[in-house]
Amino acid sequence: MTNLFPMFVKLEGRQVLVVGAGKVGEPKIAGLLDTGARIRVVSLEASPNVREWALEGKLGLHLRAFSPEDLDGMFLAVVATSSRSLNEQIYVEAQRRGVLCNVVDVPDLCDFFYPAVVRRGDLQIAVSTAGQSPSLAQKIRQQLEKQFGQGYATWVAELGETRRRILASDLDKERKLDLLHSLASREAVEAALARLAEAPSLAAKGEGA
């Protein structure tokens, strides 16, 4: 078994190819829209949402058959067609060009996998089973969504601002590290989330006064 290296990749400004824009390809494309990637979609057909995204200038849509040249200059490729032979062809062409490729639902034809993701602002928690059981990954994601509520988004943003202030201060390095570690302690997390949870109720009381 190959051990995967988990990482979060910056796609802003990078070229990404998606082949297939139907019910399988659409959610994969949706996951790329907010990354700032330069998305090119090649497909004989496209769902209404994908067509709308193209009209809004969020991606380039080419309603035609795949050509190997579509991979030229790409950083990564996502393949979501219903043809096994075409999927294999695209994967082989991507390998020849050194382009990272994911053939949806075919783990053997994947250089990377789409994880199940919990997003709370800048906090992202990704779960992967290396394509073995996406259903299990989704169930774990649902559990994590309950554990890490929406309050984490605000708290992480505040934590980032506090961290920048500490790093810019005149404190010595050791003291800075102590403060940074204390900010992420269990007690600090619980206190911050409790404070954020109280904020809406206090605001509601104020409106009724």
Give the other-Cβ count within 10 Å of 80's Cβ.
Answer: 23
Res. 209: pLDDT tops 50: no
- 72 Cβ contact list (under 8 Å, min separation 6): 97
CA nearest 68: which of 42, 46, 45? 42
CA distance 173 to 182: 14
| The pLDDT of residue 88 is above 90 | yes
**Which pLDDT score, from 0 to 100, does residue 205 have?**
44
Sign of the dihedral through C-alpha 95, 99, 103, 108: positive
Q: Can you name the residues that pair with 123 across neighbouring β-strands? A: 120
* 43/7: higher pLDDT: 43
184: which DSSP letter? T
CA–CA distance, 200 with 86 (Å, rounded to integer): 53
CA distance 148 to 156: 12
Q: CA–CA separation, 90 vs 157, rounded Å?
A: 41
For residue 173, is pLDDT > 80? yes
Which own/partner contact pairs does 42-49 have at CB distance under 8 Å and 24+ positions apart?
A: 42/17, 42/18, 42/66, 42/67, 42/70, 43/18, 43/19, 43/81, 45/21, 46/21, 46/22, 47/21, 47/22, 47/23
Distances (CA, A) of 162 to 110, 132, 169: 40, 40, 11
Residue 185: the pLDDT is 82
Confidence of residue 208 (pLDDT cuts 50, 70, 90): very low
